[in-house]
Amino acid sequence: MQKKEKIQKMFAGISPRYDFLNNLLSLGQDRQWRRFAASKLPEGFILDVCSGTGDVAIEVSGKSDVVASDFCARMLELCHSKLSTRGIGNVSCIQNDAENLSFHDGTFDGAVVAFGIRNVADIRKALSEMHRVVKDGGKVVVLEFSKPTNPFFRAGYFFYFKKILPVIGRIFSRDNGAYSYLPSSVMAFPERDEFTKLMEEPGLQDIEYHDLTFGIVTVYVGTKSHG
């Protein structure tokens, strides 16, 4: 099975417990991380790529109209019912592959991806697609797990992340692989400077990054150049 199919199947499998586990395993930090990422977007029309159950889209919907897109239908169903329950009417859910977005060039004022870019098979392609669909001067925002830089904090965190988190994840999600995949995919993810270079490749400029919670996660912000 290709990486893409495996990832799609894995997220479909864990989708019913996804929100609960996010909150539990991040000790309630995940909401603040998404809120910070959302604060880096301009107002207007925003694309949430790899939206999952829509938590970033919901965060952004207070000030912008949003398209929540994901390739996993089950995740989008949960997103849709969450939007209905909360009476949020300015978010549309559209099934889409991050590596092959179905939107015209320059459609959005900004695009955001939270905990998704690590999972796509071709990171360069996904970044290039996000760059393509935003307007000149628009923002691309990426929220992703990082490796903390402080050696003492890092040692304790890695113990939790690699040894404890997979066990809790396995028990609650009833999936043997998904929460072991999480730490291994984070370990394989590019370091901050390397990822910044990947964002520059399609033409994003003035890349800044912000470490949150001792560098457990990083928010990257890039601007699409004019012309």
Ligand X SMILES: C[S@@+](CC[C@H](N)C(=O)[O-])C[C@H]1O[C@@H](n2cnc3c(N)ncnc32)[C@H](O)[C@@H]1O
What is the closest distance, in whole angstroms, from the C-beta atom of residue 104 to ligand X in the complex? 18
What is the closest distance, in whole angstroms, from the C-beta atom of residue 114 to ligand X in the complex? 4
Residue of this chain nearest to ligand X (CB atom): 52
Q: In this structure, which amino acid lies at residue 137?
A: G
What is the closest distance, in whole angstroms, from the C-beta atom of residue 34 to ligand X in the complex? 6
Minimum CB distance to ligand X smaller for 11 or for 157: 11
What is the closest distance, in whole angstroms, from the C-beta atom of residue 17 to ligand X in the complex? 13
Rounded CA separation 63/45 (Å): 9
Rounded CA separation 114/38 (Å): 10
- Site of interaction with ligand X (CB under 6 A): 4, 7, 11, 22, 34, 50-52, 55-56, 70-72, 75, 97-99, 114-116, 119-120
- 224: tokens are 């699409």
Minimum CB distance to ligand X smaller for 75 or for 204: 75
Q: How many C-beta neighbours within 10 Å does residue 89 have?
A: 10
Minimum CB distance to ligand X smaller for 116 or for 138: 116
Contacts of residue 123, Cβ cutoff 8 Å, sequence gap at least 6 = 117, 190, 198
Q: CA of 63: how far to CAs of 143, 166, 197, in Å?
A: 19, 36, 30
Minimum CB distance to ligand X smaller for 112 or for 204: 112
